[in-house]
Structure 1
Amino acid sequence: MQITITGSLGNIGSSLTRNLVKAGHEVIVITSNENRTIEIEALGAKAAVGSVSDAHFLTEAFSGSDAVFAMTPPNLGGENVIANTTKAGKAFATAFQVAGVKRVVMLSSIGADLPNGNGPIEGLYHIEQIYKDLEGIAFTFLRAGYFYTNLYNDIPVIKGMNAIGANYPAETIVPFVHPDDIATAAAEELQRVPEGNEIRYVISDVRSAADVAEVLGTAIGKPTLPWVEFTDEQSLQGMTQAGVPAEIANLYTEMGTGIRTGKIQSDFIQYASQVTGQIKLEEFAKDFAAKF
Structure 2
Amino acid sequence: MNIVLTGSLGNISKPLATELIAKGHLVTIISSKDDKQKDIEALGAKAAIGSIKDIAFLTATFTGADIVYCMEPPIDQSRLFNPSYTVTEMLNEMDNIAGNYKHAILKSGVKKVIHLSSIGAHTDKGNGILKFHYYAEKVLNQLPAHVSIKFMRPVGFYYNLLANAQMIKQLSKGFVGAFMALRYYGLGGLLSGKRGVIVSNVGDNDINLMVSPFDIASVIAEEMEQPFNGRTFRYIASEELTCNETAKILGEAIDKPYLKWGRISDKQLFKAMVGMKMSPTWVQGFVEMQASGRGKNCRLYEDYYRHRPVLGKTKLKDFAEEFAKAYNQD
- TM-score, with normalisation over the residues of structure 2? 0.84
The correspondence of residues 201-220 of structure 1 with structure 2, limited to 5 A, is 201-220=235-254
Give identity over the alignment, percent: 35
Does residue 146 of structure 2 align to residue 107 of structure 1? Answer: no
1:16 aligns with 16
The correspondence of residues 151-162 of structure 1 with structure 2, limited to 5 A, is 151-161=161-171, 162=196
Name the SS of the counterpart of 1:15 in structure 2: helix
1:137 equivalent among 130, 144, 147: 147
Structure 2 gap segments, 5+ residues each? 172-195
Instruction: Return the offset for 1:290.
Output: 2.3
Q: Which amino acid aligns with 2:165?
A: I
1:188-239 CA-to-partner distances (Å, cap 9, x unmatched) read: 1122332221111111111100111111011111111121212222222333
2:103 equivalent among 55, 77, 94: 94
Q: Which amino acid aligns with 1:142?
A: M
Q: Which amino acid aligns with 1:264?
A: L
1:256 aligns with 290
2:26 aligns with 26
8 Å Cα contact 1:170-1:229 kept in structure 2:
yes
8 Å Cα contact 2:293-2:300 kept in structure 1:
yes
8 Å Cα contact 1:213-1:227 kept in structure 2:
yes
2:177 aligns with none
1:163 equivalent among 184, 189, 197: 197
- Give, in whole Å, the separation in 1 of the partners of 2:273 and 2:216: 27
8 Å Cα contact 2:234-2:309 kept in structure 1:
no
Higher CA-based Rg: 2
1:52-76 CA-to-partner distances (Å, cap 9, x unmatched) read: 2222221111111110111101237
1:39 aligns with 39
- Give, in whole Å, the separation in 1 of the partners of 2:278 and 2:47: 31
- Give, in whole Å, the separation in 2 of the partners of 1:111 and 1:83: 18
2:230 equivalent among 185, 196, 199: 196
1:71-128 CA-to-partner distances (Å, cap 9, x unmatched) read: 1012377641111111110110011000111111111111100113212221110111
1:268 aligns with 304
Instruction: Return the offset for 1:249.
Output: 2.4
Q: Which amino acid aligns with 1:140?
A: K
Q: Which amino acid aligns with 2:100?
A: A
Instruction: Give structure 1 regions of 4+ aligned residues with deviation exceeding 6 angstroms.
Output: none
- Give, in whole Å, the separation in 2 of the partners of 1:11 and 1:229: 29
Q: Which amino acid aligns with 1:179?
A: P
Structure 1 gap segments, 5+ residues each? none
- TM-score, with normalisation over the residues of structure 1? 0.94
Instruction: Return the offset for 1:243.
Output: 5.2
| RMSD of aligned alpha carbons | 1.6
2:261 aligns with 227
Name the SS of the counterpart of 1:278 in structure 2: coil
- Give, in whole Å, the separation in 1 of the partners of 2:33 and 2:281: 25
Q: How many residues align?
A: 291
Q: 1:242 to 1:42 in 2, by over 3 A?
A: farther
